[in-house]
Amino acid sequence: MRQLEDVEWVTAEWVDWYNARRLHSTLGDVPPDEFEAAYYAGLETPHQPVLAPA
């Protein structure tokens, strides 16, 4: 017989999968965690202008 704790555990696992690991079509079929990491990596990398040699 299933207990309330079992239902809570299965629900928490599903929420983790849905929010962090599923492939999200709107994000280019990458998991949300991976998309977020790439987004913040792009913000933290300063973009230096490329200067032509003089």
State residue 32 phi and psi, 5-degree precision: -55, -40
Helix locations, the chain, DSSP H? 4-16, 32-44
Average pLDDT, the chain: 85
Residue 53 pLDDT grade (very low, low, confident, very high; cuts 50, 70, 90): confident
Q: For residue 44, what pLDDT band results from cuts at 50, 70 and 90? A: low
pLDDT at residue 14 in the model = 95
- pTM across the whole model: 0.58
